[in-house]
Structure 1
């Protein structure tokens, strides 16, 4: 019961964050609700393929000096993961140094430079580990000049902690680096869009049980198709897509750990408003 209350508290906190973002004078914004589903998700120390349904709320907006990004995932597992429920919240704010200073930071393929800060927070009510992750993220973001859409490359430091079942006090890992690529590239005038992210995260020292950690790679990509013109809706309101996630050494667990490697096809749909 306590863990379910924890999930609801994080949902409420996410809603308050959304309200704070919406209160800013945005030059542009995009808000969506989506769902994705797959049958080959993985969790460390669980050798079975897991079916999950993930409902997400996403908000992105830009204002005079930068941009905001918020994503809230509500993940629901099948019985192979104890029918667990999880809330995972990601927030990033990027301050555009060119807009702040009035100077150009362009060089080579890079059109702009930003300073990004934010956090990841999760809570999960599975009986085995019961993650309660807290992570602060900060570092530079390089905005790459692409013909359409966006491509951002971030080099960040991560301050991460967790307090799973069996640990009396919150455990902090070593500060560790992350290379992040995030993109959204329309494919001409086809109605298709290729979107996703790639995180390469360095090892974070010993885990909370004294074992080793390993560098992890998390690739999540989707090819969306805009079905809006076929149902009389405005452009990019309704989209469907196929996605794929490759996650090696999930959460820093070495490759020898069962369930530390995920190769997950997904189907997706979202509604933008």
Structure 2
């Protein structure tokens, strides 16, 4: 299986590195390109055997599956430049939520899917969100699900819940990292513990908590109950969290959806213009 990757920014690099580290593909099975060629050549140095293409057309000619890892507003100009090179049995995979698979499906003649990765996939863990177009062949579905299953737990996701699913699976690590950092900041500010020690303790706690959940010893709810002793210290801390977080995460979801709606508006306009010209 020959895989092309257009765009080697954060998510493109995570996909490339994770596919190789998981042994899902060999470096020689990957052909990549980036607007800034230095990034692509850096990956080639890291993973001997990766091919760096001269242009996007070369990617298309030499790939069965093409991952498009560029910014949302760059999708349709890119697809416009390569659409005539695409063959019906190829699979184009988008990694961004604002562009719907049904829009891509009407713009190109080949199979289309979306696979939204998470930074957790770099550790060959966490979820990825997968959506297939109506005409996507079973062969290409199996190929994509295989690739994503080697680096994540792929979850088929409907368009209607893609944004909130991405909030949880992809944005979640950033949101929780922020809260955890604030937790450490509070400990350092209010006590004599060093930041280094507080960070080590918190990091080890998170790793251990993840393993408890992974091994299904506890759910999030039962884990909280097990740690909380009636009248104890943990309960007092939880009271503060209950009072002070309030609707905080409702507001987080509202904010991400507002930005998503803005992006969707721009994509719809661009899609209509590109479709009208063709």
User: Shorter-chain TM-score: which interval?
Assistant: under 0.3
Higher helix share: 2
Higher strand share: 1
Q: TM-score scaled to structure 2, two decimals?
A: 0.23
Rg bigger for which structure?
2
